[in-house]
Amino acid sequence: MFADFFLNSTLSGVFAKFFPDTFTVALARRIRAITMSFSSLVQDLSFRDANDERRPPRAPLSTSSTIDDRRSHVSRAMSYASTSATSVSISGDISSQLHGGYSHPLARSWQAERQLTKSMLIYPLFVSDQDDEESIIPSLPDQHRRGINKLVPHLEPLIRKGLKSVILFGVPLAPGSKDALGTSADDPKGPVMAAIRLLRQRFPQLFITVDVCLCEYTSHGHCGILRDDGSLNNQLSVDRISDVAVAYAQAGAHCVAPSDMNDGRIRAIKLKLIEEGIAHRVVLMSYAAKFSGCLYGPFRDAAGSVPSFGDRKCYQLPHGGRGLARRAMHRDIAEGADIIMVKPAGQYLDIISDAKEIGKDMPVAAYQVSGEFAMIHAAAKAGVFDLKAMAFESTEGILRAGATIVVSYFTPRFLDWLES
């Protein structure tokens, strides 16, 4: 109503200003009456159309037949008044007007259910048994394999910037360090055990997660102990992997994260943590929905965990297995997982969304894996997009899908980017 009054008053006022004699003032009043009734008609029509979606779209009403000659400026104003957008807002149906809600950068950030923070990020670290090693991983941009002596200097500045959490992957490189049982996985002098103790001592506030698997430590590169026919012996694998998890927890890990995908390993680990009397202080994060695929190549280069034969399709999930992933997540929650993880992330946002629904009472993690990270770098280098912009867009997409924790090689960069 205010808009009508303002429009009509303005039109008649402008008319009277240019034609101040008595006749034109009278004419102006007449025009005002006509435009008011016309505006009411527009309201009525638009209100009716808004409530009848079956009607074909109406062309904007022309005003040329309502007033003839000497009124081109009035006609233009009335034509504006009768556009569908204006008439819709005048009629009171204002739900179509969204732009105001995200016109400011801060208001845009408020549109997200979860906003990226430093405490959501877990930074993967590859710890080798070569104490002084610090070598770049060619297929994984900006990422290194580091020996125990290089960890503290690398992490100190990151912790000052707000790094909260790391996940450790052991990389045994010494000749003879791998065997069929993955014996070196929990070697007290091995790189992961040593790194846990060192980081706990030097950075008491740093949350230390340790990946639990055998593939870095087995001579065949598979994620468990094999039968003679090359398939996984699930029972022996679970026994061994749960022992390794307990060893990491006893060494001081805050969180153990089995990534092997053997059936029943979450229950076995939880029971052994209870038996050892340490279940109350250890988070059990399950790689519950870990899919097989071609996005792990750079990681396997970094960790030296390429299978010497075959592949992992019989224990990691098939690409299309959404229902299977849901069953795996239900199972791992029932077996005692404190956090469930989806891996990879970007190609599996629907699975993350499922994880949020299935694990609605627990944190959901997602791992933006090495292949995703390398693709983003390659595309940025090729000029497809800006690296920082895509780092945020891809990570915020993972959060939008439902994750509350992101394992990310971008973590060091985000510590800077989130500062500004």
**Annotated active-site positions, please?**
290, 343
Any contact of residue 225 with Zn ion (CB under 5 A)? no
- Options 156-164, 215-223, 238-246, 353-361: segment touching Zn ion (CB under 5 A): 215-223
- Size of the residue set binding Zn ion (CB under 5 A): 3
Rounded CA separation 392/398 (Å) = 10
Instruction: Work out how close the CB of 171 gets to Zn ion at its nearest, in angstroms, rounded to a whole number.
Output: 13
- Options 43-51, 119-127, 217-225, 229-237: segment touching Zn ion (CB under 5 A): 217-225
- Residue bearing tokens 């005692």: 336
3-state helix, strand, coil in the chain (%, to 5): 50, 15, 40
Q: Quick one: tokens of 272? A: 């052994």
Provide the sign of the torsion angle of the four alpha carbons 408, 410, 415, 420, taken in this order. Answer: negative
Helix (H/G/I), strand (E/B), else coil: 317? strand
Residues facing 179 on adjacent strands: 218
Residues facing 125 on adjacent strands: 168
- Options 9-17, 22-30, 218-226, 321-329: segment touching Zn ion (CB under 5 A): 218-226
Instruction: Work out how close the CB of 292 gets to Zn ion at its nearest, in angstroms, rounded to a whole number.
Output: 11
- Among residue numbers 195 through 214, which ones bind Zn ion (CB under 5 A)? 213
- Indicate which single residue of 16, 27, 151, 215 sits in contact with Zn ion (rule: CB under 5 A): 215
Q: Which is nearer to Zn ion, 28 or 302 (CB)?
A: 302
Buried b (16+ CB within 10 A) or exposed e, 115-133: ebeeebbbbbbbbbbbeeb
Rounded CA separation 208/155 (Å) = 12
Q: Which is nearer to Zn ion, 150 or 222 (CB)?
A: 222
- Options 138-146, 223-231, 350-358, 386-394: segment touching Zn ion (CB under 5 A): 223-231
154 φ, ψ (degrees, to nearest 5): -70, -40
- Among residue numbers 243 through 302, which ones bind Zn ion (CB under 5 A)? none
The H or E element that residue 97 is part of is none
Instruction: Work out how close the CB of 340 gets to Zn ion at its nearest, in angstroms, rounded to a whole number.
Output: 17
- Indicate which single residue of 167, 223, 245, 340 sits in contact with Zn ion (rule: CB under 5 A): 223
Residue-wise DSSP of 262-309 = -TTHHHHHHHHHHHTT-GGG-EEEEEEEEB-SSS-HHHHHHHT---SS
The H or E element that residue 314 is part of is none
Instruction: Work out how close the CB of 241 gets to Zn ion at its nearest, in angstroms, rounded to a whole number.
Output: 9
Q: Which is nearer to Zn ion, 213 or 245 (CB)?
A: 213
Q: Which is nearer to Zn ion, 88 or 284 (CB)?
A: 284
Q: Which is nearer to Zn ion, 31 or 369 (CB)?
A: 369
Q: Which is nearer to Zn ion, 127 or 213 (CB)?
A: 213
Q: Which is nearer to Zn ion, 148 or 215 (CB)?
A: 215
Rounded CA separation 330/323 (Å) = 11
How many Cβ atoms from other residues are within 10 Å of residue 267's Cβ? 17
Instruction: Work out how close the CB of 300 gets to Zn ion at its nearest, in angstroms, rounded to a whole number.
Output: 10
310: left (phi over 0), alpha (psi -120 to 50) or beta: left
Instruction: Work out how close the CB of 212 gets to Zn ion at its nearest, in angstroms, rounded to a whole number.
Output: 9
- Options 12-20, 164-172, 220-228, 318-326: segment touching Zn ion (CB under 5 A): 220-228
- Options 11-19, 219-227, 318-326, 353-361: segment touching Zn ion (CB under 5 A): 219-227
How does strand 134-136 pair with strand 283-290?
A: unpaired
Q: Which is nearer to Zn ion, 123 or 299 (CB)?
A: 299
Instruction: Work out how close the CB of 213 gets to Zn ion at its nearest, in angstroms, rounded to a whole number.
Output: 3
Residue-wise DSSP of 47-81 = HHHHT-TTSPPPPPPP-TTTS-SS-HHHHHHHHHH
Instruction: Work out how close the CB of 221 gets to Zn ion at its nearest, in angstroms, rounded to a whole number.
Output: 8
Interface positions with Zn ion (CB under 5 A): 213, 215, 223
